Chain A
């Protein structure tokens, strides 16, 4: 089955701790994206990557970091510098020239207390 997997589904952390969210795809897509979804707000882009070892900041990159060492994997680290980390995080991928057709993972709900 082709698709995107995110783990874990629910994550709880104490304030001040870094946490890494996993995203893996086996669709052979070039581009991968990380979004954050909060109630009453649209999806907001955190980071995106078009090719391995290259990634770009999105609209709300502060307090987050990513890596793209393999085409299939695009992990997101939420650092202690992120002021409001509690949110629903979504990973997506697409062909490079088809950004309109993004395939999303099931999401990770992060709660920081």
Chain B
């Protein structure tokens, strides 16, 4: 079993819809939870990070962490064609440089105009 599971998709939704992306994990030591966005043939870029449990909102994006269920989500409101990308969840037990991030496989999202 992988430490982090993420549905690879692909996921296609119409413009303006709410998108829900999810990851589950098995390592209860994870405390830092990240969402990276990766456009085709580019490097990933950090979208949001959350420490421990709870919600975090940034514009149209909301990250949610439920440590009791070992489940994290990213919601995108009012989705735009420019949101079409692969979304990678990542997790870490600490914030130190020698602590590796464990990535999900990524969910490929397409927003249909």
Are A and B part of the same complex?
yes
Determine the chain B residues whose CB is within 8 A of the CB of A64 once the complex forms.
none
List chain A residues, Cβ under 8 A from B106.
42
For the complex, count residues of A whose C-beta is within 8 A of B: 32
Q: Are A58 and B43 neighbours in the complex by a CB distance under 8 Å?
A: no
Question: Residues of A contacting B44 with CB < 8 Å?
Answer: 43, 90, 104
Residue B65, interface by CB 8 Å: no
**Which residues 1-50 in B have Cβ within 8 Å of A in the complex?**
4, 6, 8, 32, 34, 41-46, 49
Select which of A56, A100, A102 is within 8 A of B98 by beta carbon.
A56
Our pick among A30, A100, A107 for the contact of B101 (Cβ within 8 Å) is A100
- Whether B88 and A48, one on each chain, are in contact in the complex, defined by CB atoms closer than 8 angstroms, is no
Q: Given that A48-B100, A100-B34, A100-B101 are contacting pairs, would A107 and B41 also be in contact in the complex, using a CB cutoff of 8 Å?
A: yes
In the assembled complex, the Cα of A30 lies from the Cα of B96 at a distance in Å of: 11
